[in-house]
Structure 1
Amino acid sequence: MYAVLDIEATGGKKGEEDIIEVAIYRYDGRQVVDQLISLVCPERKIDAYVQKLTQITPKMVKTAPKFHELAKRIIEITNGAVLVGHNVEFDYRMLKQEFKKLGYTYYRETIDTVPLSEKAFPEANSYSLGKLSKELGIPVSDRHRAAGDARATLELFKLLLEKDSLKSISKLEEEKKRVSQKFASVYEEMPNEIGLVYFLNQKKEVIYLTRAINIALATRKILTGKSGLSNKIRLEFATVRHEITGNELISWIKEANEKKRLKPKLVRNTNGFDFPYTLFVEIKDGYKTLKLDRNHRKRPNPVFQILSLKMGQKILSLITEEFQLCPKLNGISPADLDCLSFEVGECNGACKQKESPDSYNQRVDEFLEKIKLENKNFLLIEEGRRLGESSFVWVNDGVCVGYGYYELHHQIKDRKRIKERMTTVEKDSDIDSVVKGFLFTEKYRELITLPL
């Protein structure tokens, strides 16, 4: 069974869009047996570009049902079906995003008609839905509207099924369903909460653990994934357990500490480091520059360790922007080109020696002071695991020493009471790097300074 769909959205930053129209055709391989076509009233404005492209206006969606009013119907029409779409990842992401707002983990297997079309029609001039449909003689009405695009995708999918002489699409569907159904009872019992997931073998040994923004979703991804790591976990695990942490900061800290304590045999990174990249300070012509490099933990002037190159580049860009540093000096802009930020007035010209090193370095020092742990004693306060509960992370004399939970403020008013409620963690540069990252992004509710 297939659910061929198309979603139209408001536009905006990834993760912040809302659905404005949905069309789903439930297809049994021979005929459409059910369908859902509806405008959706979004919570945010529709971008002007989207209005022009789709001809969907704020007035049209004003009286349309909100997503939560359609949610049950969407679950029903896609139940037991594989989602089929042209660039289906976008449509699937939008559905998961909307369901997440409702506290529900939405999971379906997917088939994307784009790579299937590339394989079936290698001579096509384009694989965009409109151009490919025209080239194949598939009629398209209401282009860039959900119903029109979903109907065109359905006709394309029918053609792909006809050309699939080896029945590879059907086999793909059956395999995805088999793997998904096998582990459904495991991940469907998991909560949609922030925390850790532990995979244990028959001997009750933890073979793998990971932090998760959504425990249920992370468990499902691991058990149904195609990676070598997922394959190894599926072969060896016997049971799965979880722990809710209530917030990201403690999930990061607890993950690092648990890996040291439990030493699981399966890990994400085979190089031995979960934080393989280092941000460090380097002096160039008197200017303090921030550099990102791999496996340089012993390099002088390290700032903190970072999980991945992509995350490191993002953090470095945010630091450069917030403290008005030079992207060219920090290695963000190409070395062989002029500094565009200087040309548009967003850089003070340190890369051209038009700003003195003392002036520039003062802003670098402001960043370093913001994330500094040395000679500091404080609590980072965040949400707890349940309503009415809060959490703390304690940095004592420059080192993260533990975390805990409390309900009343007097329960953390002095060191003795903090220690009574605290779970101790081993001294670890990775954990300190996590704390520094949260200090920089200010992803905490409150910072309480304690006497040294």
Structure 2
Amino acid sequence: MYAIVDIETTGGNAQYGCITEIAIILHDGKNIEGKYSTLVNPQQPIPRYIQAITGISNEMVAGAPTFSKVAEKVFNLLDKRIFVAHNVNFDYSFIHHQLQQHGYFWQAKKVCSVRYARKIFKGLSSYSLGNLCRDLSIPISNRHRALGDAEATSILFDKLLANDNELKVLNEFTKGRNAHSYLPMNVPVEQLENLPYCPGVYNFHNEKGQIIYIGKAVNLKFRIRSHFSNNSSNQRKQDFIREIFSISYTTCISEMHSIVLEALEIKKHWPKYNTSHKKFEREYGLYCITNRNGLMRFVIETKRKHLPAVTTFYVLQDGHDFIARTLKEFDIDYALAMNTATDTLSSEMIELHNTKMQSVIDSLSNKASKFYITENGANEMGDDRTLAYFFENNRFYGLGFIDAAEPIDPDTPIPELALYNDNSFVRHLLLDFASTQPQNIITINA
């Protein structure tokens, strides 16, 4: 009925590491039915630090069978039994990967003795196997060897069954596909069960509470569950899963809201496991200078800290496109404005050109207004709040919720805004949205 398992390996992930020792104890729920253990030749060197922990050396496994020689035996012992282990997903991922590599299709229901112990013996300071054995007076020999740890886990399993009233917790763990079987061992299952079915942004935290990953979701429960429900043997994925200790989230009124908030929060917290939105954004400034002939011209350069720019850009091509569009709008000669003209100009022509150039600068100054882009919620959870994204001088500054029943007073900015640094991705996303929804733009006079 149960197979209580422990393995030793060459590394921390199933894709690149291999099993060096395996122990399987067959248990019918009351008594031990049989035991099997063997060293396994991993056909790769065992790192020195692992040799120091387990005591298993390269010489010890040199004459041991490879996994291909024991795969059939392992499969037959595990087949049709519930898989029990301390930190079950680690052992399961290795054995599943190794069996699959040798042509055996095997899947099993899983019980993690760490999670089981947390439910039955609440309030202990630690649920590592060594500390549980100490606190529950479980004898353990050959620590960090497969059979020694499996035998200790078997005694722990007996104690868990004995203290599980009518086996309610065990039945909860083994009923269908449940979060206990695939969640990281340190994440409380209640955090997954309490997730809403709505758009949002979620954070994964490590043991110290630091945010190590930020993601967005159209459906928070489905998306977060998908992180854990596939048992990938990829090293980065396994390292990532082991570091997660808790989940937090913020609900959003729409998918766009979640996209915006994810990008802003990644820039704010710079999480370890995020790759998108972490690129450094170079800022460019549009400057107006006067050459030695008295002719005003534009130039785009990397933004200077103490020199005010006419306007700024995060993408160089955006700056060049803006200049071409603006010069055409104000009927300004491109060659003159960019100082590529070689003809000698009269004072009248210079004065006319400079007047037009000043008109561009004045126009941009007049457009340097404060405004909101609003978005009305309409997700499946009935979240009908209205969100306001705040801009000043065409730069994004923050966002906050407003009362849709009370129109925004153009003379009074919203006081409670979550402030963020300007972000070119967010700015372009929201301004593109506003270009198709001009009625959602509210100018602030104050």
Instruction: Output the TM-score relative to the length of structure 1.
Output: 0.42
Which protein shows a greater Rg? Answer: 2
